[in-house]
Structure 1
Amino acid sequence: MVKLFSVLLVILLCLGSSQSSAALNSVFMSDVTNAQTPKGVAEQRKTLYQLLGRLPDRQRPITVKLVSREETKDLITEKLLLDLNGLEMVPAFFTIPKKVTGKVPVVLFNHSHFGQYAVGKNEFVKGRPEMQSPPYALALARAGFAGLCLDSWGFGERSGRPELEIFKEMLWKGQVMWGMMVYDNLRALDYLETRPEIDAKRIATVGMSMGSTMAWWLAALDERIKVTVDLNCLTDFQTLLEEKGLDRHGIYYYVPDLLNHFTTSQINALIVPRPHFGLAGSLDPLTPLKGLQKIDENLKKAYANAGVPQAWQLKIYPVGHLETAQMRQDIMAFLKKWL
């Protein structure tokens, strides 16, 4: 199927941008529909994971060091050092409501980029100007959810080297920077399953911007994620190409050979039938409106075919690349409903 799709892609791109876009959308939707068998989904996930380059062993042991533990009236915050990949330690924050009874649901939170490499996981516990208050760690705790957020490669306490330098070195070694980022978060799911406080059947993932992209990639690859919320980065690859917008995203974003195998819709269709909420700004250059409409059309069909049309939702707000109070309210309502 992959070889056939690659040939069709080349042919269709030669038809002209408007005609090829419609034709590609039809082909992509056919592939999305055909993939919705257990065997088809498993094969698609395998292919998607293989595109992420040379990754560490998924079964290697995980070790953890507790660095500090703080308590407030609302939540407990643990700072951790996790050995997830065997290459460098991964600093993380784990948070849990102060008063809990029994096992609690958890949100794997993915921090954003904004070219602010020193922020990283601090976004989760301290917030940032582009996002609403309180920070997500506190908002989730007040709603009864635990949370975990890692410093991604090149960010926070892992920000000693420039992103482009990390990307280049990994490329030489057959690694993909985005793949290494995804790998750490997949292993974070393994770690969460070891926490006695966590209900492993109630795991969600949430993120904004770069974290948004991480959210839908993780959910596409791993069914342990039961609820997905992506904020401000559900970008259609073909539309971004048509609008000559590749420089709007950082170098980390680009996975070799990806477009010969997947569209954004096809990756997100691997989340079906699990609940998925996408939020975007109509004025956000990172997510062209035409592409959002294409993804929405495709995923509405995919979720309808699965018999759960209500589990997919896309809301577009009249803003740019930021989180509004209404967005935060809608996100928390979606988590409370589905998680």
Structure 2
Amino acid sequence: MSSKTARRTKLYELLGRMPDRERPLSVEVVSVTETDGMVTEKWLMDLNGIEKVPAFFTKPANASGKIPLVLFNHSHFGQYAVGKNELVMGRKEMQAPPYAKALADEGYAAFCLDAWGFEERSGRAELDIFKEMLWKGQVMFGMMVYDNLRALDYLQTREDLDAERVATMGMSMGSTMAWWLGALDERIKVVVDLNCLTDFQTLLEKGELRRHGIYYYVHDLLTHFTTSSINALIAPRPHFGLAGRFDPLTPLEGLEIIDADLKETYEKEGAPDAWKLKIYDVGHEETAEMRADILAFLRKWL
């Protein structure tokens, strides 16, 4: 077992008791609509055997052959009514058009599911879900990761998608999910994280742990990993981090640590151009410049 494989195995183990990765999956297509040059499918997925997972899958209406996929992860913002809808409807903290349309215009398919406790899965409070899972030896973030990895298992089987051209991205909570998924799964070839590349130790030293939701905290993580060492598992695959200079969720001192560490990692792996961190003079939001930079990065690498 290679060093990276062993590290990925350990990282996955920290995510608690999870359902069998080999359990059968099923997907029900609930609806299919076509508007503005884009097909939108709503799915109901049996991923974890505990509760069904609603999701959106979108692609250009004129798509033919195998097209690249962007696994989109929605954000948090304490707005539990917004989940997968962020992909197709957007949100005020992000640019227009919504990413489903922006990605379809670039020729990409996109996928987003409702995370535990959000949108159609918001019947119970996040704290209640977290506490029950804790009692059962589960980690809420781990169960969130599991759903996305199993969704990717299914998406990899589709004849309309190019299994070799898969990216993942997201903002805020979705950013964190993107770099965890990229670290854990080499099937993901490109990672874009927007406004949540947070150095754990810096956050701790600044007394800002309250800034992040309860879902974010993984038992015993700091014993084994730093933010940099998790993200190093993505190398040498392309990874673009975007951050706001005035964003309290990602202290600048921590961003500087991560950037230095990953520059060294990517240099050692012979891919110095594949890691990029760009800091913008904003808070916790997506600007027009950020959107343009993200689409340019995907054009280059995906």
TM-score strictly above 0.5: yes
Please name the residue that 1:250 is paired with. 213
Checking the alignment, whether the CA contact within 8 Å between 2:75 and 2:170 is kept in structure 1 is yes
Q: Distance in 2 between matches of 1:80 and 1:328?
A: 27
Selected match of 1:223 from 186, 191, 203: 186
Selected match of 1:275 from 238, 242, 253: 238
Please name the residue that 2:248 is paired with. 285
Letter in 2 for 1:296: D
CA distances 1:231-280 after superposition (whole Å, capped 9, x unpaired): 00000000000100000000000000000000000000000000000000
Does residue 1:173 correspond to 2:133, yes or no?
A: no
Please name the residue that 2:152 is paired with. 189
Please name the residue that 2:291 is paired with. 328
State which structure, 1 or 2, has the greater radius of gyration over its C-alpha atoms.
1
Moved more, 171-180 or 94-103: 94-103
Q: Distance in 2 between matches of 1:316 and 1:219?
A: 21
Cα RMSD (Å) of the superposition?
0.6
Aligned pairs for 1:254-265 (under 5 A) are 254-265=217-228
Selected match of 2:203 from 240, 243, 254: 240
Moved more, 132-141 or 186-195: 186-195
Q: Which runs of 4+ in 1 moved over 6 A?
A: none
Deviation of 1:188 after TM superposition, in Å, equals 1.1
Structure 2 stretches lacking a partner, 5+ long: none
Q: Distance in 2 between matches of 1:241 and 1:66?
A: 44
Deviation of 1:88 after TM superposition, in Å, equals 0.3
Which secondary structure does the structure 2 equivalent of 1:225 belong to? coil
Q: Distance in 1 between matches of 2:60 and 2:169?
A: 18
Deviation of 1:191 after TM superposition, in Å, equals 1.1
Please name the residue that 2:70 is paired with. 107
Letter in 2 for 1:95: T
Deviation of 1:101 after TM superposition, in Å, equals 2.1
CA distances 1:190-246 after superposition (whole Å, capped 9, x unpaired): 011121100000000010000000000000000000000000000000000010000
The TM-score normalised by the length of structure 1 is 0.89
Please name the residue that 2:169 is paired with. 206
Q: Distance in 1 between matches of 2:37 and 2:71?
A: 19
Letter in 1 for 2:47: L
Q: Distance in 2 between matches of 1:99 and 1:285?
A: 42
Does residue 1:315 correspond to 2:278, yes or no?
A: yes
The TM-score normalised by the length of structure 2 is 0.99
Please name the residue that 1:7 is paired with. none
Does residue 1:129 correspond to 2:92, yes or no?
A: yes
Letter in 2 for 1:162: A
Deviation of 1:73 after TM superposition, in Å, equals 3.2
> When you count helix as a share of all residues, which structure comes out higher?
1
Selected match of 1:154 from 108, 113, 117: 117
Please name the residue that 1:91 is paired with. 54
Checking the alignment, whether the CA contact within 8 Å between 2:64 and 2:160 is kept in structure 1 is no
Selected match of 2:258 from 295, 299, 302: 295
Please name the residue that 2:16 is paired with. 53
CA distances 1:62-111 after superposition (whole Å, capped 9, x unpaired): 10101000001311000000000000000000001111121100000000
Which secondary structure does the structure 2 equivalent of 1:178 belong to? helix
Q: Distance in 2 between matches of 1:167 and 1:88?
A: 15
